[in-house]
């Protein structure tokens, strides 16, 4: 057994001695954290070569967003959860890079509203009391990403580095379902028309701008 350990140690020493000095002192992996328009989350990356990096990241975000449709105030609770894989291309072998990737997208939202007398739901004017509404919003689960940025994790002399990225995430047209929870009955066709109007007001989610900053540690 001692001979086996000695042989393994000798092989490791020979392999280490054959590596460039930069590779001996600093590894090809990094871990970090990002914060941006998709939320906050961890990141891990592997440097394949000076011009190619593979990266994985997760994001989590929850916040409220208010919008008005036909005089009805909607309260949206946005719950963003996503995990992505990316290929970073460094054409000049420095921090500047282009990113191609895709995310598993579990970005959803819940909607709550109360339509007062005189408000219009679809084509129906509310009379006889307020109408309670509840709904859900969803986007495509698979979302491609295209972007660029600066990441000197594998090109700087320090093991610590900051990152800055900007790009676009294609989530598809938001889909909204809407149901009535209280008040005088509203025809289903008008609830569907109202849901379509909300979708039109949220088209900015289709091409979602992604901007983030982060801190990485190389090992």
Please check the confidence at residue 54 and state whether its pLDDT lies above 90.
yes
Q: What is the pLDDT of residue 183?
A: 92
Q: What is the pLDDT of residue 2?
A: 32
For 133-165, what is each residue's pLDDT tens digit? 999 999 999 999 999 999 999 999 999 999 999
Please check the confidence at residue 217 and state whether its pLDDT lies above 50.
yes
For 176-189, what is each residue's pLDDT tens digit? 999 999 999 999 99
C-alpha to C-alpha distance for 63 and 37, rounded to whole angstroms: 11
Sequence ranges of the domains in the chain: 28-218
For 19-48, what is each residue's pLDDT tens digit? 343 444 468 999 999 999 999 999 999 999
For 65-110, what is each residue's pLDDT tens digit? 887 777 788 898 989 999 999 999 999 999 999 999 999 999 899 9
pTM: 0.80
DSSP letters spanning 84-111: EEEEEE-TTSSSEEEEEEEEEE--EEEE
CATH topology of domain 28-218: Porin (2.40.160)
Paired residues of 209 in beta bridges: 168
% of the chain exceeding 70 in pLDDT: 88
Q: What is the pLDDT of residue 69?
A: 73
C-alpha to C-alpha distance for 92 and 113, rounded to whole angstroms: 52
């Amino acid at each position: 057994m001692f001979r086996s350990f000695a042989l393994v140690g000798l092989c490791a020493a020979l392999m280490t001695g054959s590596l460039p000095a930069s590779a001996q002192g600093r590894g090809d992996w990094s871990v970090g954290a990002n914060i941006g328009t998709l939320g906050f989350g961890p990141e891990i990356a592997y440097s394949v070569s000076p011009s190619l990096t593979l990266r994985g990241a997760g994001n989590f975000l929850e916040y409220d967003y208010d919008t008005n449709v036909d005089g009805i105030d909607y309260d949206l609770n946005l719950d963003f959860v996503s995990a992505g894989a990316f290929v970073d291309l460094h054409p000049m072998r420095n921090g500047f890079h282009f990113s191609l990737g895709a995310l598993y997208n579990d970005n959803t939202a819940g909607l709550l509203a109360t339509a007062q007398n005189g408000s219009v739901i679809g084509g129906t004017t509310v009379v006889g009391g307020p109408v309670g509404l509840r709904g859900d919003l969803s986007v495509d689960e698979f979302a491609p990403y295209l972007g660029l940025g600066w990441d000197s994790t594998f090109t700087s002399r320090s093991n610590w580095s900051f990152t800055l990225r900007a790009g676009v995430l294609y989530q598809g047209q938001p889909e909204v379902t809407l149901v009535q929870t209280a008040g005088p009955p509203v025809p289903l066709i008008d609830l569907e028309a109202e849901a379509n109007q909300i979708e039109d007001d949220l088209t900015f989610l289709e091409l979602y701008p992604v901007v983030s900053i982060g801190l990485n540690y190389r090992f």
